[in-house]
Amino acid sequence: MSDLLEYVQDRYAYWAIVLLMIIGLYGMLFKNNLHKKVVGMIIFQNSMILLFVTAAFKWDATVPVRDPEIDVQVVENYLNPLPHTLMLTAIVVGVAIVGVAFALLIKIYDNYGTIEEDELLNKLESPSPEDDGDCDTNDTQRSSSPKGGSA
Amino acid sequence: MSAYETYFSTVPFWAMIVSAVAVPLILAFGRKPNLREAVTLIAAVIKFVLVLTLLPDALAGRAGEWVLFEIAEGIDFSLRADPFGVFFALIASGLWILTSCYSIGYMRGHAEKKQTRYFASFALSLSATIGIAFSANLLTFIVFYELLTLATYPLVVHSESKKAIAAGRQYLAYALSAGLLMVAGMAWVYMATGTLEFTPGGILEEGMVSASGMKFLFVLFLIGVGVKSGIMPLHSWLPNAMVAPTPVSALLHAVAVVKSGAFGVVRVVGFVFGPEVMATYGLNIILAVASGTTIILASLIALQQTNLKRRLAYSTVGHLSYIALGASLLTAEGFIGGMMHISTHATMKITLFFCAGAIFVHTHKSDIRELDGIGRAMPWTLGAFTIGSLGLVGLPPVNGFISKWFLVSGGIEAQMWPLVVVLLLSGLLNAAYFFPIVHRAFFREGEKRADGRSVWEGVGEASPWMVVPLTLTGAMSVFFCFFPDLPLRFFTIATRVTQDIMGGGLPL
Amino acid sequence: MTNPSQSLIIKMVSRTLATFIQVFGIYVIIHGHYSPGGGFQGGALLAAGILLIRMTEGREESQPTLATAIATPLASLGAVIFAGLGVVILFFGGNYMDYGAVPVPGMEVPVVRYYGILIVEVGIGLAVMTGLVSIFDDMVRTNRQSGPDMGRGGMS
Amino acid sequence: MDMSKGKKILGFLSLLSLTILLLVAVDSLPKRGLPDAPAHQVINAAGNTGAGAYFIQSAYEDAATPNMVTVVLGDYRSFDTLGEVVVVFAAAIACYLILRRREDEEK
Amino acid sequence: MNHIPVLIPMVLLLASMFAVFGKRSQENYLPFLVALAGMGLSAVLSIIGMVHSVTEGPIHYHLGGWQPPMGIELILDPLSAFFCLMITLVAAVVLLHGEERVRIEVGDRIPAYYSSALMLVGGLTGIVLTGDLFNLYVFLEISSLASYALLATGRKPAAVSAFRYLILGTIGASLYLLGIGFLFMEVGSLNMTELAVMIPEVPVTAGIAAAAVLMVVGIGLKMALFPLHGWLPDAYTFASSPATTLVAPIGTKVAAYVLIRIFLFLFAIDFMKEGIQLTTIVGWMGAAGVVWGSVMAITQRDMKRMLAYSSVAQVGYIALGIGLANPLGLIGAVLHAFAHCFMKACLFMVQTNFLHRLGHYDIFRLDHRTRVAMPWTCAALAVASLSMIGLPPTIGFFSKWYLLLGCIEEGAWVFLAVLLLSTLLNAVYFFRVLEKVYLRSDGEAYDDHDEEADQATSSREVSAAMLYPTLVLAGSLLVLGFANAWIVTHFLQPMFPVW
Amino acid sequence: MNWVLEIFLDILLLTTAIVALQAKDLMTSAVATAAFGFTVALLFISMGAIDVGFTEAVVGAGIVGVFFVAAIYRTTRKTKD
């Protein structure tokens, strides 16, 4: 029994991470609302970061800031700073992607007036005539007329 | 296995490239028909002369070779004028001159459109054909083989009618698939032997591939070359491709395309697999069955056709298989007969197509039943037609007799009696589908118009641009029967190649 | 965002709070060598200060704090500081980003590295602050209502 | 992401298999917090100094900075950090490219 | 000379930072010139690097002067140099070609466009050059962010497809990161060279196998490997033409490169082949992708979408070659990546030219008048199509040739059959276009009147700036075809030491 | 390192994640996301990753929340799922 307890004690953090990952992936893949997809993405990325931080963890070690009192030559005294650094980068990457995701989402709302995926798919399948134009260009006339274009 | 003594020569390359160089000129002179056609003719003559200069060395067993560059890792892109290549190149380039003259007459007489594209594609496909003839290895061969497919595609779809486009699609589908299978087979051979160089007597040896693998490999190659040489059931593109203008049918479907297929069959049998491997694994049986069946079936189908060109097309299908059959005998006579049939069939069939084209352009008749009594209106044309028919039946004094003689004696030597029967039977069938035409043309009265006069009244010969070439080819057919070795030494070359393939020890 | 608060108190509070946040942000950048924090955290705090003002006063009114038009070029400048430092080191014969290769008179190699990291952190801080503000500005910009200052010109 | 029923089921199945894969993989990972896990080794399996251990031991000597994360971020792995800054910049540019409109359209 | 590995991506990234300066107007040529200079410079550097890596061996560049396990290492070996060269060359040509269209389709956001383009290319070269797994992730995200932005320009649905790409791309990158995490926890390093030494030393656990699987799935998503390709067709179809032309040829190839790196230089190939048989799975995915992509391409009438599906198929070829996991197969895969890069760029350029002059790229609306009006563009289309089909002597034939050899060596007959079948399928959808362009679709007889009408349709060929890049790429397909043996012996064979 | 605290944080994490995904009101979702970010930050700090925790607190609870709210203002607040 105590073996089992020990086993659980060793693993439960990993299980929580896996659970979070799956929740996040579920949100990204199966949620209908694009906002929710982004939420899923945030959860997913954070669970990934959590895994790395767990990898850096050592029992009875202190934070990776040099304390003159604690010998740096004994590696067991300090947490591994490498995954921490990596995850700083990963967090920033994550927020950048979230920013772009929101920007795209806003653009979709501007174009279609909805951010529900099923409605979007309906609109994509029956495109309105103006969909064919280049919505952001300033010369729809030019690209639609066969004689257009500059020499 | 006598590999040829090779020497450096750029002539094969120039012979190959000269008509390709003509293409831009032809395109550039698109608006000046006379100049454009002059370019075509000049290129044709230059090409023939260049090939001719290779003949003495080929007879001496020396092959001019130019390794241009390495085209794929371990494989060179090289052109080598070995005797067999020269043999084929001579036929193709020689007949190109005549076909060019005839084309000019036909195209002008018929007021075809897009003549520039026509002549350009024509020149390009000749380049490809000569390239096929001079390819020193399989990869070079396939490059030109595919090029030939592409270059002839515009010719097939020339009229751009729905029918032509459909035929073009079918042609592409067949030819591309065949090329693909051949590429796969090549890759396999390369992995097994480490070389793709054509070697008399074959590059594959026993045990390199498992027995079933060897059979599969042979089938791959057979399909690869078989589509172009119209072995049944891969032939069906050929009759449909007859929608092309007649000179195209004449050159491409009597000489270039189908003959490169037949040439490929001999190359594959003699230079890739080799008689020993063929015999050991029973591959020649596969080939013999396929070609024998094709000969009989094609002749039977030809009997059903009422369109003259289609009948000729099926006749072509049948006769191409003579060549394959000759190769499948694996005897010296068989090889000689097969190779000779490449040349004899070329002159005869081109004569027939020229005649069909002349009749069509001049009278707009293409159905056999409409040809009653035409012989009197166009005696030269139909005379040539008669000569060609006699030759294809295998009667002297036309050169078809020579090749057929060797084929039959090869069959007897190999003791493959069914094949001998097939050959004889097909001769009869040939007679059955050709002689009625001749009979109608000369011995029947033409239809009467309302005013009681014959439809042929006032109809004379077609333009000399067409009549002269067809007369010439007809005359050549007769001439080669009496002097098979003169002036181009076809017979000597064929013997020489056969010796090389068979290992040189065989008496003739 | 689109409905900026008109309340003076909120404005005052947010301005004051923003100032503190930004001071803290600068502290975080500078002090990153000794305690948690550094360029990114500091930059994000600086951005948070500006975003606070943006949110309470509206995008147009808060332009003087950090104009949208110069946010993107400033982000680029921050990145250029970082990347450029590496390029400068190349001229001193070191590998890219090898601060120790720069001979600074009277400084030990570790100290040179110390200052190298500091410069990098400042670059990160600048880039992150302006980058985040730029993203935010692009997001809240409404499609049709507008101010006269919309993204006119860069630093040309 | 066409949410037809079949695809949904397929998606759930793949999610399930991923879950199983992850759980199995997680089971073989070193126990949490073990100081001698491969990631923390002083001498790693290749016989080199392990990166994490080296950072702990020499960060202060190399850059006179007590915060190891800062040193790794700013010096040892500064190229990553440069990439991180470029990512933020890229995001800013991306939002610019996606959302920013022409002045005259907005008037 | 020794700084080349870092200079190639940094020149591009620095250029991307400078490209945003400048007025937001269509007459602002500064970003374009900066981009062109950046791409040109990095292309030149790539050429030097390529030559250097082949003649004098690979360069291992230690960033910050730190030895590999501590610092990040950039590796310029023949493989990475080759991909760098390919990316920068094609990107430079595409950039030149797209300039005119960018002004039309992107309008006043030109600085951001070119900045993103440079970041895309810079990120991709970074991916190619880096020798550190996490650094690779960072560069992966840089290039992904840039490509999301680029692919969001264009028609209205572009935003939706770009969002979908973002979601799936993030999943892919995150799974890759997860794989790194497992590997790091199980083995304890991030450096590829070191990992290659260490992985055989440590016992094989579920964690390592899962790491391999996750990395392959993650990269497979980026690469649009068959069941994971869902984002690609829409994203390429709806994006603005210059953006598609830029992203399509190089984006997926780099993911393929990462796959090769993972298979060859990270995990021992035997482990991948016999241990967890991941190569086989990848090969089958590739084969399925080849068939699926080709079949879908046949059903399209939108040329851009057809090309997008064809990309799925072509990626399948590369995966198939990687799945063979023998030197010939890998040479085929790399050569095909190279060939496809040029072919797809050329074809998308042709499509852009059609859009530019005709205002559409609907296959059913193309006819012989198109060819009369744009003879050179159509010639480029023909050459590129033949190469896509794989007819000699274009490069497309030879890449397939090596794949075939690899299949036979491996005894993978199904893959062989797939290769042959797909060639026919390719022929179907490309000859369909060629037939439209080169033959009269109405099937009516051709008369003098038509000939006059054709001549009256005076040439409306695109401007030189758009035409010449197209022609250069089309011509290069032939040149590369003839030079393939040279490429293989001098550059590709040194990449794959016989194991 | 207190593992009672950690389990509590883990449970909080899962709760906020599920709330953030399932809320019908996107503003609730935004707040839950911010709470999620902050919980993760706490978890990081409890594991000794102070730098990461700090960053996550600023980003997860701050910047992402602001972006989220901004995006909601620009789009819509209601959703079906």
Query: What residues does each domain of chain C span?
Result: 8-140
Length of chain D: 107
Residue E451 — pLDDT band, cuts 50, 70, 90? low
Q: Report how far residue F13's alpha carbon sits from residue F35's, in angstroms, rounded to the nearest whole number.
A: 8
Express each pLDDT in B482-504 by its tens digit: 777 766 777 777 777 777 777 64
B508 assigned to some structural domain: no
Buried b / exposed e over B199-228, threshold 16 CB at 10 Å, is bbbbbbeeebbeeeebbebbbbbbbbbbbb
Q: In terms of residue numbers, what domain contains F50?
A: 3-74
Q: Report how far residue A147's alpha carbon sits from residue E357's, in angstroms, rounded to the nearest whole number.
A: 7
- Are D91 and C133 in contact, with CB atoms under 8 Å apart? no
Q: Nearest CA to CA, how far is D81 from chain F (Å)?
A: 14
Q: Report how far residue E195's alpha carbon sits from residue D48's, in angstroms, rounded to the nearest whole number.
A: 11
In the prediction, which pLDDT does E499 show? 53
In sequence order, what are the beta bridge partners of E323? Answer: none
In sequence order, what are the beta bridge partners of E130? Answer: E74
Helices (H), E106-224: 110-129, 133-152, 158-186, 192-198, 206-223
Q: Report how far residue E112's alpha carbon sits from residue E21's, in angstroms, rounded to the nearest whole number.
A: 9
The whole-angstrom distance between residue B162's C-alpha and the CA centroid of its chain comes to: 27
Q: Report how far residue A17's alpha carbon sits from residue D25's, in angstroms, rounded to the nearest whole number.
A: 12
Q: Which residues of C touch F (CB under 8 A)?
A: 1-2, 36-38, 40-41, 44-45, 47-48, 51, 55, 132, 135-136, 139-140, 142
Q: Which residues from C are below 8 Å from D79, CB to CB?
A: 96-97
Q: With an 8 Å Cβ cutoff, are B165 and E435 in contact? A: yes
In the prediction, which pLDDT does A137 show? 40
Express each pLDDT in E46-104 by its tens digit: 999 999 988 888 889 998 888 888 889 999 988 899 999 999 999 999 999 988 888 88
The answer, for C144 touching chain D at a CB cutoff of 8 Å, is: yes
Give me the mean pLDDT over the B277-302 stretch.
86
**Lowest-confidence segment of A141-145, B160-164, B172-176, E490-494 by average pLDDT:** A141-145
> What is the 3-state composition of chain F as percent helix, strand, coil, each rounded to the nearest 5?
80, 0, 15
Q: With an 8 Å Cβ cutoff, are A92 and D88 in contact? A: yes
Q: With an 8 Å Cβ cutoff, are C94 and E65 in contact? A: yes
Q: Report how far residue E101's alpha carbon sits from residue E334's, in angstroms, rounded to the nearest whole number.
A: 31
Express each pLDDT in A99-121 by its tens digit: 999 999 999 998 888 888 888 88
- Are E457 and E358 in contact, with CB atoms under 8 Å apart? no
In the prediction, which pLDDT does F31 show? 93
Torsional sign, CA A68, A69, A71, A72: negative
| Of residues B469, B291, B461, B265, the one with CA closest to residue B363 | B461
Residue A135 — pLDDT band, cuts 50, 70, 90? very low
- Are A50 and A90 in contact, with CB atoms under 8 Å apart? no
Give me the mean pLDDT over the A86-101 stretch.
93
CA distances to B501, E81, E335, E402, E494 from E488, rounded to whole Å, are 34, 14, 8, 10, 9
Q: With an 8 Å Cβ cutoff, are F81 and A94 in contact? A: no
Residue B188 has pLDDT above 60, yes or no: yes
- What does the mean pLDDT of chain E come to? 88
- What angle separates helix D5-28 from helix A2-30, to the nearest 10 degrees? 150
- Are B228 and B255 in contact, with CB atoms under 8 Å apart? no
Residue B408 — pLDDT band, cuts 50, 70, 90? confident
> In this predicted model, which residue has the larger pLDDT, B414 or E254?
E254
Q: With an 8 Å Cβ cutoff, are E181 and A142 in contact? A: no
Residue E316 has pLDDT above 90, yes or no: yes
In the prediction, which pLDDT does A40 show? 94
Residue A22 — pLDDT band, cuts 50, 70, 90? very high
In the prediction, which pLDDT does E43 show? 93
In sequence order, what are the beta bridge partners of D67? Answer: A65
Cβ neighbour number for residue B162 with a 10 Å cutoff:
12
Cβ-Cβ pairs closer than 8 A, C with D, add up to 121
D32 assigned to some structural domain: no
Q: With an 8 Å Cβ cutoff, are A99 and C40 in contact? A: no
Complex ipTM > 0.85: yes
Give me the mean pLDDT over the F68-79 stretch.
87
Write the Ramachandran bin of B373: left for phi over 0, alpha for psi from -120 to 50, otherwise beta: left
- What angle separates helix A34-56 from helix A2-30, to the nearest 10 degrees? 150
> In this predicted model, which residue has the larger pLDDT, E399 or B68?
E399
Nearest-Cα residue of chain F relative to residue C38: F51
Q: Nearest CA to CA, how far is D85 from chain A (Å)?
A: 8
Pick A64's closest partner by Cβ from D3, D68, D81: D68
The answer, for E423 touching chain B at a CB cutoff of 8 Å, is: yes
- Asked, as a colleague might, if the bond just before A68 is cis with ω within 30 of 0, I would say no
Pick C35's closest partner by Cβ from A65, A95, A102: A65
The two tokens of residue B76 are 């060179």
Q: With an 8 Å Cβ cutoff, are E443 and B75 in contact? A: no
What is residue B81's DSSP assignment?
E
The answer, for F39 touching chain A at a CB cutoff of 8 Å, is: no
The pLDDT > 90 percentage for chain B reads: 0
Give me the mean pLDDT over the B91-117 stretch.
78
Q: In terms of residue numbers, what domain contains D102?
A: 77-107
- What angle separates helix D51-63 from helix A81-112, to the nearest 10 degrees? 100
Q: Which residues from A are below 8 Å from D51, CB to CB?
A: 82
pLDDT by residue, tens only, chain C of 156 residues? 545 556 788 888 888 999 999 999 999 998 888 888 888 899 999 999 999 888 888 777 778 888 888 888 899 999 999 999 988 888 888 888 888 888 888 888 888 889 989 999 999 999 999 999 999 988 887 554 433 333 322 222
Express each pLDDT in B32-64 by its tens digit: 778 888 888 888 888 888 888 888 887 777 777
The H or E element containing residue B108 is helix B83-110
Burial class (CB in 10 A: 0-12, 13-18, 19+), D61: exposed
Q: Which residues of C touch E (CB under 8 A)?
A: 72-73, 76-77, 79-80, 83-84, 86-87, 90, 94-101, 151-156
Residue B166 has pLDDT above 70, yes or no: yes
Burial class (CB in 10 A: 0-12, 13-18, 19+), A110: middle
Burial class (CB in 10 A: 0-12, 13-18, 19+), B35: middle
The two tokens of residue F21 are 């995904």
- What does the mean pLDDT of chain B come to? 82
Q: Report how far residue E132's alpha carbon sits from residue E184's, in angstroms, rounded to the nearest whole number.
A: 12
Total domains in the fold of chain B: 1
Cβ neighbour number for residue B503 with a 10 Å cutoff:
14
- Asked, as a colleague might, if the bond just before C103 is cis with ω within 30 of 0, I would say no
Coil/strand/helix, residue E102: helix
Express each pLDDT in B354-380 by its tens digit: 888 888 877 777 787 777 777 777 888
Total domains in the fold of chain D: 1
| Of residues B290, B232, B236, the one with CA closest to residue B422 | B290
In the prediction, which pLDDT does E26 show? 67
Q: Report how far residue A41's alpha carbon sits from residue E239's, in angstroms, rounded to the nearest whole number.
A: 23
Give me the mean pLDDT over the E401-415 stretch.
90
B105 assigned to some structural domain: yes
C touches B, CB cut-off 8 Å, minimum 3 pairs = no
Q: In terms of residue numbers, what domain contains B256?
A: 5-502
CA distances to C70, E183, E189, E193 from E198, rounded to whole Å, are 49, 11, 9, 9
F79 assigned to some structural domain: no
Q: With an 8 Å Cβ cutoff, are D89 and C111 in contact? A: no
Query: What residues does each domain of chain A span?
Result: 2-63+75-117
Q: With an 8 Å Cβ cutoff, are A103 and C139 in contact? A: yes
Residue type, C69: A
> In this predicted model, which residue has the larger pLDDT, F15 or B345?
F15
Q: Report how far residue C65's alpha carbon sits from residue C50's, in angstroms, rounded to the nearest whole number.
A: 7
In sequence order, what are the beta bridge partners of B5? Answer: B62
Please report where in the chains the tokens 């001071």 appear, as a residue. C23
| Of residues B190, B242, B251, B233, the one with CA closest to residue B44 | B251
Select from 2.40.37.10, 1.10.287.3510, 3.40.50.300, 3.30.470.20 the CATH code of A2-63+75-117. 1.10.287.3510
> What is the 3-state composition of chain A as percent helix, strand, coil, each rounded to the nearest 5?
70, 5, 25
Give me the mean pLDDT over the B110-120 stretch.
76
Q: With an 8 Å Cβ cutoff, are A138 and D11 in contact? A: no
Q: With an 8 Å Cβ cutoff, are A27 and F79 in contact? A: no
In sequence order, what are the beta bridge partners of E76? Answer: E59
Q: Report how far residue F26's alpha carbon sits from residue F78's, in angstroms, rounded to the nearest whole number.
A: 6
HSE value, Cβ hemisphere, 13 Å, CA-based, for A119? 12
In sequence order, what are the beta bridge partners of B135? Answer: B79
Residue type, B257: V
In the prediction, which pLDDT does B107 show? 76
Q: With an 8 Å Cβ cutoff, are C96 and E63 in contact? A: yes
**Which residues between 115 and 144 in chain C have a beta carbon less than 8 angstroms from any beta carbon of chain A?**
128, 132, 135, 138-139, 143
